[in-house]
């Protein structure tokens, strides 16, 4: 028998698990676990524990610290289920923050007040609300997994309010600033890359992952099917988009096609001088030897060119915001903007670019006024005539 239940009192039972024999002494190993409640609840708990034993995730209750559990969670859950880049972030938060602060706490004794105190301490230490909120996301997922594994009855993070991130003021360029920047960037090796981002709104990770097979010159469109990230060890990984909405096709303007065509010819000439061809699977934006471009190098080049152009320096990611803001100001339907950006819902697009809303409202009111006034004046003229 792998486990059985014995009654202790009216509403208390003891589960006895058989854990095999000690290899050194040959003695039987047992784990005794107390359960308060009905016999049915005790039987359910026994079933959960046996399942943990079968799946290799059983951890002795009452003795397991949060540090022990988090290390196991990273190994058995996070690493197999997250992208390499996301795993690095999760692992760093666990190792640098969660374990030093909460690691000694017994897993099943972790309370909401412990977590809330941890958030307050991190905010006082100077971390931003957005960063602390990300800590909450990692801890919440870890504890949610513990509940699924039957190690906890509830997720203590459910009863905690994470800090609300302050909304950073979005910085974008207007049409003149975009023009000045591109004029300055024309002689840069990254001109085609920067032009593509400004004219499509795609992310840095997406533009660096583009291959020539992703660009359809004839039908004037490009397809987003993967992203590129650089890990801490400086290696590069290519991953699929996070959601089905991120995997998308984007229409290209005539100027985008012209810039990309010229970039292709330049790349083709460079490769010919090296005695190699441009293949469909080659990256559109890379070093002459086909090695990937480093994301941080691109962002620094962007900032330097902005300074030289005499326009305000914005983040490289703000090129995406610039594209969306200018489209919305031009009266492009938000649904189209959502599809180009790859947002999972139109609500995200509208919330992100709510700063554009006042101008859209005014424009809509004026256009409505013009349409009704024109009709009204026309009817009045006919009546008077």
Per-residue confidence (pLDDT) for residue 359, from 0 to 100: 64
Per-residue confidence (pLDDT) for residue 157, from 0 to 100: 96
Mean pLDDT across the stretch 366-373? 78
Is pTM beyond 0.75? Reply is no
Mean residue pLDDT across the chain = 89
> What confidence tens digit (pLDDT) does each residue in 127-154 have?
999 999 999 999 999 999 998 887 887 8
> What confidence tens digit (pLDDT) does each residue in 277-328 have?
889 999 999 998 899 999 999 999 999 999 999 999 999 999 999 999 999 9
Per-residue confidence (pLDDT) for residue 315, from 0 to 100: 94
CB atoms within 10 A of CB 264: 16
Length, in residues, of the chain = 385
Q: Per-residue pLDDT for 60 more than 70? A: no
Q: How far is CA 213 from the centre of its chain?
A: 25
Q: How far is CA 109 from the centre of its chain?
A: 31
Closest CA to 198 of 309, 307, 327: 327
Closest CA to 57 of 173, 150, 123, 133: 150
Q: Per-residue pLDDT for 189 more than 70? A: yes
Banded pLDDT at 62 (limits 50, 70, 90):
low
């Amino acid at each position: 028998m792998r486990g059985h239940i014995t009654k202790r009192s009216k509403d208390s039972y003891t589960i006895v698990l058989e854990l095999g024999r000690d290899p050194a002494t040959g003695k039987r190993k047992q784990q005794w676990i107390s359960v308060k409640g009905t016999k049915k609840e005790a039987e359910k708990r026994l079933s959960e524990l046996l399942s943990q034993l079968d799946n290799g995730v059983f951890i002795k209750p009452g003795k397991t610290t949060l540090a022990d559990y988090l290390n196991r969670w990273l190994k058995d859950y996070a690493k197999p289920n997250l992208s390499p880049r996301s795993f690095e972030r999760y692992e760093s938060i666990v190792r640098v923050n969660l374990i030093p602060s909460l690691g000694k706490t017994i897993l099943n004794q972790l309370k909401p007040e412990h977590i809330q105190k941890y958030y307050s301490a991190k905010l006082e230490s100077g971390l931003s609300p957005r960063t602390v909120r990300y800590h909450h996301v990692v801890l919440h997922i870890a504890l949610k997994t513990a509940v699924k594994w039957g190690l906890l009855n509830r997720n203590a993070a459910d009863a905690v309010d994470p800090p609300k991130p302050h909304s950073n003021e979005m910085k974008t360029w207007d049409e003149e600033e975009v023009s000045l920047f591109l004029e300055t960037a024309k002689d840069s090796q990254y001109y085609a890359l920067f032009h593509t981002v400004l004219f499509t709104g795609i992310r840095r990770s997406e533009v660096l992952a583009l291959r020539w097979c992703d660009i359809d010159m004839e039908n004037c469109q490009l397809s987003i099917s993967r992203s590129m990230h650089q890990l801490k060890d400086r290696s590069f990984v290519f991953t699929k988009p996070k959601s089905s909405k991120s995997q998308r096709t984007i229409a290209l303007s005539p100027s985008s096609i012209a810039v990309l065509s010229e970039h292709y010819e330049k790349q083709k000439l460079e490769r010919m001088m090296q005695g190699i061809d441009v293949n469909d699977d080659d990256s559109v934006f890379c070093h002459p030897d086909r090695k990937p471009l480093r994301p941080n190098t691109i962002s620094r080049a962007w900032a330097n060119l902005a300074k030289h152009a005499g326009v305000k320096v914005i983040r490289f990611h703000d090129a995406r915001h610039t594209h969306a803001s200018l489209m919305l100001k031009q009266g492009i339907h938000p649904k189209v903007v959502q599809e180009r950006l790859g947002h999972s819902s139109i609500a995200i697009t509208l919330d992100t670019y709510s700063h554009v809303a006042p101008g859209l409202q005014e424009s809509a009111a004026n256009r409505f006024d013009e349409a009704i006034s024109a009709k009204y004046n026309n009817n009045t003229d006919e009546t008077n005539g």
